[in-house]
Structures are given as structure tokens and as C-alpha cells.
Amino acid sequence: MKIAVTSQNRRTITEHAGKCRKFWIYDVDQGQTTGRELLELPLEQSFHESSPHDPHPLDDVQVLISASMGPGLRQRLMAKGITVLMTPETDPDVAVAAYLQGTLISGPGSCDHGPDDHDHHHHHT
């Protein structure tokens, strides 16, 4: 099993999964993490820039954990059979361990960017 965690800064779980280009990929075997590596995508392979119809480097993960993502990306990932979790947890290792124990706190974490939102600055708490 593979779990991807958005981490644009390589340290914490970051927001805006669609624009994220750095993901910690955790390998899991029998409920235990067996390793992690950083996947860095070129801009054109971010979810925001890539086509949902083309193969994607994250297609082989079973779970994606992020601080937030829009509804379009959530639907795109779920259509590929990827479980989507949005959490206020900021530590990738803690989040993955909590997910594996069934204790990860997850919430809506949605970033709804409508067509009129380009000048809108918002802060997630």
C-alpha cells in the first residue's frame, strides 16, 4: 500500500493539493510504514496543470492526505479509487501513523475556488 502526503515545504502537511508538487510517499506493509521518499513533480504534473485523463505519478497510491483541496480534485482522485483525507494534523509521520491506527482526525478542508475567486485571499485555520 502507498500513502501520499502533500508537503510543498518538505516538512509539514500543506494545503492546496491541486497545486502541490512535493509529496511524501509512504510504503506500508501489514499496517506498518516500511519507508518514505519525496516525490517532486514538475509544474505540468501538478494536479492543477495535468489532465485527469492522462496517467499520473500518484495513480498508484491508495490514500492521499492533505490539509485542503478543492471538490474537483477530490472527485478526480476518488474516481481513480484513491481515498482522500483532509486533516488539521501538520506532521506527515504523525498523520500516516494515525491513519494506520484509525485515529486520524479528518475534516472537510475544502478550498472552493469559484470563477470569481482570483482576487480573493483566504486563510485556513
Tell me the domains of the chain and their CATH numbers. Answer: 2-101 (3.30.420.130)
Residues counted in the chain: 125
**Nearest by Cα to 106 from 116, 118, 97, 98:** 98
The predicted model scores a pTM of 0.86
Confidence band, pLDDT 50/70/90 cuts, at residue 107:
confident
Whether 109 has a pLDDT exceeding 70, the answer reads no
Q: Comparing 1-10, 20-29, 76-85, 100-109, which segment has the lowest mean pLDDT?
A: 100-109
Whether 56 has a pLDDT exceeding 90, the answer reads yes
Mean per-residue pLDDT over the chain, rounded: 88
